[in-house]
Amino acid sequence: MESPKYSHQVKADQRLYINRQELLELERQIRLKRHIERYALLRQFAQGVICDAACGCGYGSFLLSTNPDVEFVIGLDADSATIDYAQQEYSSDKTEFYAADLDNWVSPRPIDMLFSVETIEHLKDTSVLPKFVDRNGINHVILTYPSKKTSHYNPFHLHDFKLQDVLNLFDKFICYKHFNWEYEFDVVFLVRKP
C-alpha cells in the first residue's frame, strides 16, 4: 500500500499543489495587485495638486498623476531610501517626492487634496494626519483603511477604524461620500466645513 505521504501523486489531477515559497510569493503578488487597484480606483477622484501621504516607493503617486485632472502629485514618506527609489523610478514632470515626517512637513506649494491610502492605521499618533491637513491648508481628504479588524494579526497596524473614528479625528470636515470596496477597505471623502 502506498504511503499517504506520496498519495498526492495519484490525486494530482484532483488537487492543486503549491509549495510554501510559491504560496508566499503568490500572496505577495495579490497584495501588491490589490494595493495598485486601490490607487487605480481612487485616481478618478483626483484633481489639482495632490499630496500622497506615506507614498512608499511612489507607484501610487505616479498612477494618480496619470489623471488629466491632476496638475501635480507630491509623494511623502518618512523613509529616505524608499523616497530615493521613488525619485529614481517615478519622478516625472507631474510628480515630486520628499523624505518627510507628516508631523512637521510644510508643502512648498498649495495642496488641493490629500490622499491617504492605508496609512492612518499605521500611525502611532492618529492626530498627526488631521494636524498635517490643517497645517498645509488642505480642504479635501480621501483616505482608506481596512474594513475589518487587522491589528491583532498585522504587527504594523496599530489601530482599527470605523467611519465614526475618522469623523472624530477630522472634526473640521464633513464626510460627503463613504463606501466599502469589496469588503477589503473603506474609502472616506472629506471636505472642510465652511
Residue-level length of the chain: 194
pTM exceeds 0.75, yes or no: yes
Residue listed under C-alpha cell 489639482: 48
Residue 139 vs residues 10, 18, 97, 134: alpha-carbon distances, Å: 63, 49, 21, 8
Phi/psi at 186 (5° precision): -100, 145
Q: How does residue 5 score in pLDDT terms, banded at 50, 70 and 90?
A: low
Give CA–CA dist 91/111, Å, rounded: 18
- The per-residue pLDDT for range 35-47, each reduced to its tens digit, is 899 999 999 999 9
> pLDDT, tens digit, for every residue of 91-138?
999 999 999 999 999 999 999 999 999 888 867 989 999 999 999 999
Question: Which residue from 69, 41, 58 is spatially nearest to 142, judged by alpha carbons?
Answer: 41
96 SS3 class: strand
3 state DSSP class of 95? strand
Confidence at 11, pLDDT banded by 50, 70, 90: low
Task: Enumerate domains of the chain plus CATH numbers.
Answer: 16-192 (3.40.50.150)
Within 13 Å, how many C-alpha atoms sit on residue 36's CB side? 10
Cell of 23: 504560496
